[in-house]
Amino acid sequence: MFEQLFPILLLFVVAAVLAGVLISLSIFIGRRTKLGKKGQPYECGIDPEGTTREPFPVKFYMVAILFILFDIEVIFLYPWAVISKELGMFGFIEMLVFVLILLVGYFYILGRGALKWD
C-alpha cells in the first residue's frame, strides 16, 4: 500500500517543502529594512498626515459580503441558461424556486436593515 501511495505522499512533501522554502527564503535571504523612514507611506514627498489604515465604516464590508453571496449564486443561472430549452417548463420552475430562496435571503437582509446607509 505504501508504495502505491508514495507518489501522492511525495507530492504533498514537495508542496510543503516548497511553501517552507519560499517562506524561509524570504525570511533569511530577503533584505530586511529597519522600519524608519522607509516604512512610511510615500505620497508626493510630503510628510503623511495620520495613518493610512483608517477604519472604514462597517457598512462597506456588509455590502461587500452580501454582494459576494448574491454574485456567486448567480453562477447557477448560467448552466441553466445554456440548456434551458431542453429543460423546458420543469427547469424554469426549478430555477424559480431557486430564485425564490435567494429572495427570502434578500427580504431578510432588508428586514434586518443591513442595506440602510444612514
Residues forming contacts to other proteins in the complex (CB under 8 A) are: 1, 4-5, 7-8, 11-12, 14-16, 18-20, 23, 58, 61, 65-66, 68-69, 71-73, 75-76, 79, 90, 101, 104-105, 107-108, 111-112
C-alpha gyration radius of the chain: 26
Distance (Å) of CA 50 to CA 9, 10, 54: 50, 50, 9
Nearer to other proteins, 8 or 46 (CB): 8
The single-letter DSSP state of residue 76 is: G
Nearer to other proteins, 20 or 48 (CB): 20
CB of 45 to other proteins, least distance (A): 31
